[in-house]
């Protein structure tokens, strides 16, 4: 698929901008702070309802405005559709497709697929588990949009459950009996949604694995192999005695079975209950899990060099792209739009050239760069200069 037109209203620095794109490679060139990243950020937001730069949507609405609008015409299997998302600060988003309103904004998810490469990606390797969980969850939503609802329900359930645990802990410490009558219900809701998330994440990890391995090999000079695994809080909360011999081999596969995971989550929650009440937090579930990255058998977070970390981060994004492209369950044309946001400046020449090589054949690649020279020669295509919020085609 590709984006043929983009129009922004009161989004970030733009009061109003309209840009037409073509399939193939497009570079948006301009000094930092002139608005080039805002253009591609809006497309990433349209695809996932999250920004790769900020956690809060409020920052996306232009200062002094109450709402921002992102409109994009997306061509999939030759058929165009106009997607529109209205962001109102502090309120739910509103979405339209071909001008007709959707009952829920969430129904827009899945219509545009993007994979965004950005300087922030280094944190996938070097940063906290939170960023890696988000990486997996955003991929899940692209693969299966209905999981967006499961994910937001799960987050809400955990907030409610934590509030209940906290108040139970407070009353226990005050010497009165804690009110735990509804805890079983929250356990059940957390286990149901949590198991669906874990099963989908582990399935995604299994799908990503071969792509990450080969992409890492191609991006780096591959002195060591990249490995990834799903580290579940379920495993960590088990005592060694609970572990059957040979369990490690089948452990990952069993995590792809949501029914099994649900039962295990319920069991873990009942065992952890006193500890959870004492600490006032939910200790087991997808919100405590991690995507484990290793290079040559060592944890990448602690041992990978700067260059190796970049190679691994690129490999994760490239693998997402391959997985989405190969996703045959998707109605038609699941190939995502590739967005390379300011990423070449972060890479040495060898990695630049290899990345360019790997993405050159994609249906659409949107590149942002402060200077044209940072864009590898292999990625020649359309070029726009972005200056002070004005976007000009360079012929």
Q: List the beta bridge partners of residue 11.
A: 14, 61
Four-residue CA torsion sign, 244, 250, 255, 257:
negative
Q: Judged by CB, which is closer to other proteins: 103, or 274?
A: 103
Minimum distance from CB of 232 to other proteins (Å)?
23
Instruction: Report the 10 Å Cβ neighbour count for 275.
Output: 12
DSSP string, 230-299: EE-HHHHTS-GGGPPTTHHHHHHHHTT-HHHHHHHHHHHHHHHHHHHHHHTS--SSGGG-EEEEEETTEE
Q: Does 49 bind other proteins (CB under 8 A)?
A: no
Minimum distance from CB of 266 to other proteins (Å)?
14
Q: Judged by CB, which is closer to other proteins: 90, or 246?
A: 90
DSSP string, 6-26: EEEEEETTEEEEEEE--SEEE
Q: Does 159 bind other proteins (CB under 8 A)?
A: yes
Given candidates 5, 120, 153, 213, which one binds other proteins under the rule CB under 8 A? Answer: 153
Minimum distance from CB of 255 to other proteins (Å)?
24
Minimum distance from CB of 104 to other proteins (Å)?
6
Helix or strand (DSSP H, E) at 339: strand 337-341
Minimum distance from CB of 193 to other proteins (Å)?
9
Q: Does 163 bind other proteins (CB under 8 A)?
A: yes
Q: Judged by CB, which is closer to other proteins: 159, or 306?
A: 159
Given candidates 79, 104, 173, 275, which one binds other proteins under the rule CB under 8 A? Answer: 104
d(CA 394, CA 392): 6
Helix or strand (DSSP H, E) at 88: strand 79-88
Q: Is 34 annotated as a binding residue?
A: yes
d(CA 310, CA 340): 14
Stretch that binds other proteins, among 3-11, 69-77, 178-186, 293-301 (CB under 8 A): 178-186
Q: Does 270 bind other proteins (CB under 8 A)?
A: no
Given candidates 179, 253, 278, 388, which one binds other proteins under the rule CB under 8 A? Answer: 179
Q: Is 33 annotated as a binding residue?
A: yes
Minimum distance from CB of 195 to other proteins (Å)?
16
Instruction: Report the 10 Å Cβ neighbour count for 150.
Output: 21
Measured CA distances, 318 to 55, 249, 297, 355, 395 (Å): 23, 27, 21, 9, 30
Residues near other proteins (CB under 8 A) are: 103-104, 106, 149, 152-153, 156-157, 159-161, 163-164, 167, 179, 181-182, 184-186, 188-189
* Binding-site residues for ATP: 30-37
């Amino acid at each position: 698929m590709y984006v043929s037109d983009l129009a922004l209203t009161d989004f970030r620095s733009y009061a109003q901008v309209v840009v037409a794109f073509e399939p193939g490679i497009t570079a948006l060139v301009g000094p930092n702070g002139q608005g080039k990243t805002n253009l591609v950020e809006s497309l990433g937001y349209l695809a996932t309802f999250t920004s790769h730069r900020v956690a809060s949507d409020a920052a996306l609405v232009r200062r002094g405005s109450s709402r921002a609008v992102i409109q994009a015409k997306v061509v999939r299997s030759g058929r165009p559709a106009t997607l529109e998302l209205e962001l109102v600060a502090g309120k739910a988003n509103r979405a339209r497709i071909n001008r007709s309103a959707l009952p829920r904004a969430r129904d827009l998810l899945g219509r545009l697929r993007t994979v965004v490469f950005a300087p922030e990606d280094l944190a996938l390797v070097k940063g906290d588990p939170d960023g890696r969980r988000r990486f997996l969850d955003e991929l899940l939503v692209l693969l299966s949009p209905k999981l967006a609802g499961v994910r937001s329900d799960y987050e809400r359930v955990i907030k409610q459950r934590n509030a209940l645990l906290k108040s139970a802990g407070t009353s226990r410490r005050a010497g009165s009996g804690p009110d735990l009558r509804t805890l079983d219900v929250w356990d059940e809701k957390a286990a149901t949604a949590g198991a669906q998330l874990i099963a989908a994440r582990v399935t995604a990890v299994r799908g990503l694995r071969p792509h990450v391995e080969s992409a890492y090999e191609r991006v780096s000079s591959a002195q060591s192999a990249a490995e990834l695994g799903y580290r579940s809080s379920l495993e960590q909360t088990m005592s060694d005695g609970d572990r059957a011999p040979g369990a490690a081999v089948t452990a990952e596969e069993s995590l792809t079975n949501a029914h099994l995971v649900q039962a295990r989550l319920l069991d873990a929650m009942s065992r952890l209950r006193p500890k959870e009440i004492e600490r006032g937090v939910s200790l087991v579930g997808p919100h405590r899990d991690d995507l484990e990255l290793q290079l040559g058998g060592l944890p990448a977070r602690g041992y990978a060099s700067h260059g190796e970390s970049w190679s691994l981060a690129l490999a994760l994004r490239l693998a997402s792209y391959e997985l989405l492209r190969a996703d045959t369950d998707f109605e038609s044309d699941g190939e995502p739009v590739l967005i390379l946001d300011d990423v070449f400046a972060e890479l040495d020449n060898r990695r630049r050239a290899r990345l360019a090589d790997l993405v050159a054949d994609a249906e659409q690649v949107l590149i942002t760069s402060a200077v044209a020279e940072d864009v590898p020669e292999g990625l020649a295509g359309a070029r726009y200069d972005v200056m002070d919020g004005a976007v000009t085609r360079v012929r």
